Structure 1
Amino acid sequence: MAKIGPTMSGFRSVANQYTPIMNATTAAPTLTLSIRCRSNAGRHERDKNLLMAHEVAPPGEGLSALTQRELCDGCMRVDFLYGANRVSLNMDIHYNTDEFWPREATSHLAVEPDSATLEALDSSSVFSTKLSSFRDGDTVAVVLGSDINSSDAVQLLDALLTTLRARGVRMNSVSIVVGSRWPLPESDLFSKVAAAYAHRVGEIVGHNPTSQDLVVEAGVTPTHGTPILISQTVLGADLVVLVDRIRVDPLIGVTGGHTSVLSVSASRTIGANRRLALDEPFRPLDGTTPMSVDAMEICGTLDIDLCVNVISDYRGSPISVVATSPSEAHRRGIDTLSHFAHVRIDTDVLYDLVIVDAGGSPRDSTLYQAVDALYAAYSVTRRNSTILLVAECSQGIGPTGLLPSPQWPRSEFRLGMEKQSFLSRLLSERRVILVSSIFEQMCHGVFDCVQPGSMQDVFDGLQCQLEAGPSRVAILHAGGDMVPLR
């Protein structure tokens, strides 16, 4: 008979349903599926089509979210985020499998971005101080960072523009700059912002980091000497407001706050900032990374001192909105996300096989974004183990410097190289299988690549290899938004 048993003392059993007992600061719980099927002449002795419900997500304080898992002949179906869709595995499990999620914002923790923004701006002393010195004829540049989605952006913009108008700022003096760190085609965010605000503000600018005509030089950062080439619209404004989303990022710590200024910088500035991470380990939720310190100095040089940032859980549900200085927004983002991203893992547990998804779209739009999920998988696996990374990569690799190439020495830095150090170490100690729609030849033999339709066969083969001895398997959902704690 299959048995589902939680391993945390913070669970209680009520009619086969498990409810986590936790408070707002508790790390996300773990559920261990101890499914053992007795076999007789190679056949499982169990009832077919047995439906069992168990806790699969740590949605928050004292609440549970149940999912149905069909167990048939010892198989359990597990869904993984894949772009805008899901892919599934039928897992024939006869050893312990641990399943992990980041925390979710429950209904009483989630906020409405527009009303939360109005409230944050109304109570912001930084915002009030800046507007107190605002004069007729002064200009405002609202920067939309590259990590915010279009829905949140529109709601935050509506609230911000409403507040500016109420404080006497003329809308024709407001420019909206849609940021970008990569030379990509016109984004969905730019299209939606242009459609919604074309006749409501002075101008809408789509930033192109490769265009020399749109940026001006404004000095260098004192610590690392990064050249500051910034959007001329931003540099010429009397008030600059950075609007973005704060989320976990293994290179810079978290996005948002002062890091959003890179979204309106030139490629030369972005490259110099990213180069600071060349030999750095991944440090998610760390506010003192060289890249973060460098971005803070850029904001200081440009006298940018106001952010309106939304902080979201791994599903994109808003947790809070902050309207304050870049450094304070960054600090609050780290404090808040620590409660949602940290996942407690037993100190003695290392896994032989981990299946991890990057969190679906947009976290797996490119391979460059998707590899962030490998940090969590690497942290919980033993040497020579296997990691199955599920990521659609609908837009390909992303920055071409991500994958090593003898044609490009490290001295000729290209965007993407900042993650090479972590990838090289990972690939020398782990086997990584990429489940993706990306063309295999694009990976240059770095990963074993399989299409989603072949994932089940690959997993079955790995499972057969593990049957030779006692093994542990972990399932990590939204690995890019997860930070394991030991």
Structure 2
Amino acid sequence: MERIFKFKYGLNSIDLKLPQSKLIKEIKGRQDHKNDLISLTKNALENPIESPKLSQIVKQGEKVTIVISDITRGWQKSNLFLPFIIGELEEAGIELADITILAAVGSHRFHSEAEKQTLIGEKYYGKVAFKDHNCHNKDELSYLGKTSFGTPVYFNRLAVESDRLILTGGIVFHDLAGFSGGRKSLLPGIAGYQTITKNHALSLADKRGEGLKKSVDSNHLVDNPVHLDMAEAAALVKVDFIFNVIPDGRGGIAAAVAGDLIAAHQSGCEITSRLFGIKMRQKAELVFASCGGYPKDINLYQASKALVNAAQLVQKGGYLILFAECKEGIGHPEVEDIIQNYNDNLAREDFLRRDFTISRYTGYLITTAIAEIKLILFSNIERKILSNTEIEVIRTKADLNKILTNRFKELPDFYSLPDAANTLPIFED
């Protein structure tokens, strides 16, 4: 019997008719929530973790900076939860003129006016100040010292000098930091470029040819130097309150946590592991995966999160079919450079060790993730951009059906990952 499998692709979806009998497992997060984001937000703000309520922290006349994630993390739905945070500040006597929204763009691009409105929401757009963080402008940064890892800590001056600092964001698995959210709103979110690159370079193994440290991976915190460095850097600035959401894998929100930077974030990480850390025993010859649609597949840079997760399920020599629209292409010229202009991963590693940047790291991560498998990228990305790789770019279901027919006498057993960006296979020993 055949079944229709839906894979989100940009703002649409690709429907594939595949034999149900060949499906090993459809890997999804656990859908055990019943509340909408508004209910979750209210509950989290009413019951902060190891912290007073926000209204009990702030005082009339204080300047407040609220850090939010950039448009590539639009799934967090900041336009829906910000009104409750700002509303609580207003009730505590904070004037709108004393509130600034600071977008934690890290080293990403700035926002258009339309994107700013999308992030803030209609109620407060134009009524509170909005600023994009600029990691390259030293005049907008404050130096706070060095971590034990040798990372010079530069954070956005506005955030550092505010009377109150509130961090918002989302918690998912992260291939560098273990989990996103919490301290990541600071580093890389509102950090200086030198701080970001030094921190992320801690991912490289000590010896040439070994690539990346094994401890730097999704779901790893305890022995992860990238996370530990972030935590040390975060301790150098006073964070008064955080609010983080956890996605549900269907375009909604499964949970929300608020309160103390460390305690609330830890609680959110535990929820994420429980919902989206899927224990597995075997790999497969064929895996179909979607990033989860826009904005998770806005470009290859963002799609890399899903690619890395899904690739772990593919056996050596097997195939990963990844649905990623990538309407903005690669996402950064440095990603394209390290993918296209180096012939093997050792050469890419050498270049990364000489001149580490986050974008080059992402390009290197992509090529190492698929080193022993075959990637079929269903995408609008230009084929020539990836011509120096073995990645096959296709655009239509007809192209895909042709590949499946030509490569396999009979379709092998397969996994389906409809939201690979948020779902992490965890192999049991």
**Corresponding residue of 2:384:** 441
Q: Given the alignment, which residue of 288, 291, 307 partners 1:374? A: 307
**Corresponding residue of 1:391:** 324
Distance 2:75 2:20 in 1: 44
**Corresponding residue of 1:103:** 29
- What TM-score, normalized to structure 1? 0.75
**Corresponding residue of 2:421:** 480
**Change over 3 Å in CA distance of 1:237–1:143 after alignment to 2:** same
1:57-76 equivalences under 5 Å are: 71=2, 76=3
Q: Does 1:357 align with 2:290?
A: yes
Structure 2 residue identity aligned to 1:83: G
Structure 2 residue identity aligned to 1:86: S
CA contact (8 A) 1:254 1:333 kept: no
Q: Which structure dedicates a bigger proportion of its chain to helix? A: 2
Q: Given the alignment, which residue of 373, 392, 397 partners 1:430? A: 373
CA contact (8 A) 2:45 2:258 kept: yes
Distance 2:252 2:263 in 1: 21
**Change over 3 Å in CA distance of 1:350–1:133 after alignment to 2:** closer
Partner of 2:189, secondary structure, is helix
Residues 420-444 of structure 1 show CA distances to partners (whole Å, capped at 9, x for unaligned) of 5543433331111211100011124
Structure 2 residue identity aligned to 1:210: H
Structure 2 regions of 5+ residues with no counterpart? 205-211
Distance 1:155 1:414 in 2: 33
1:447 positional shift = 4.1
**Corresponding residue of 1:300:** 235
1:57-456 equivalences under 5 Å are: 71=2, 76-91=3-18, 93=19, 96-103=22-29, 105=31, 109-124=33-48, 127-128=51-52, 134-146=58-70, 148-149=73-74, 152-187=77-112, 188-192=114-118, 193=120, 196-198=123-125, 200-201=127-128, 203-220=129-146, 222-261=147-186, 262-278=188-204, 279-281=212-214, 283-288=217-222, 289-345=224-280, 347=281, 349-402=282-335, 403-404=338-339, 405-406=341-342, 409-410=351-352, 411-420=354-363, 422-453=365-396, 455-456=397-398
Structure 1 residue identity aligned to 2:285: D
Distance 2:415 2:40 in 1: 37
Structure 1 regions of 5+ residues with no counterpart? 3-70
Partner of 2:6, secondary structure, is strand
Distance 1:148 1:326 in 2: 20
Residues 19-72 of structure 1 show CA distances to partners (whole Å, capped at 9, x for unaligned) of xxxxxxxxxxxxxxxxxxxxxxxxxxxxxxxxxxxxxxxxxxxxxxxxxxxx4x
Residues 193-238 of structure 1 show CA distances to partners (whole Å, capped at 9, x for unaligned) of 285425544x322223233332222222x23222222211101112
Distance 1:315 1:82 in 2: 13
Q: Runs in 1 of length 4+ with deviation above 6 angstroms?
A: none
**Larger RCO: Structure 1 or Structure 2 (Cα < 8 Å, ≥ 6 residues apart)?**
2
Q: Does 1:467 align with 2:409?
A: yes
Distance 2:117 2:75 in 1: 9
Partner of 2:380, secondary structure, is coil
Alignment RMSD (CA, Å): 2.8
CA contact (8 A) 1:307 1:324 kept: yes
- What TM-score, normalized to structure 2? 0.84
1:412 positional shift = 1.1
1:142 positional shift = 0.8
Rg (Cα) greater in structure: 1
Structure 1 residue identity aligned to 2:398: Q
Distance 1:179 1:344 in 2: 32
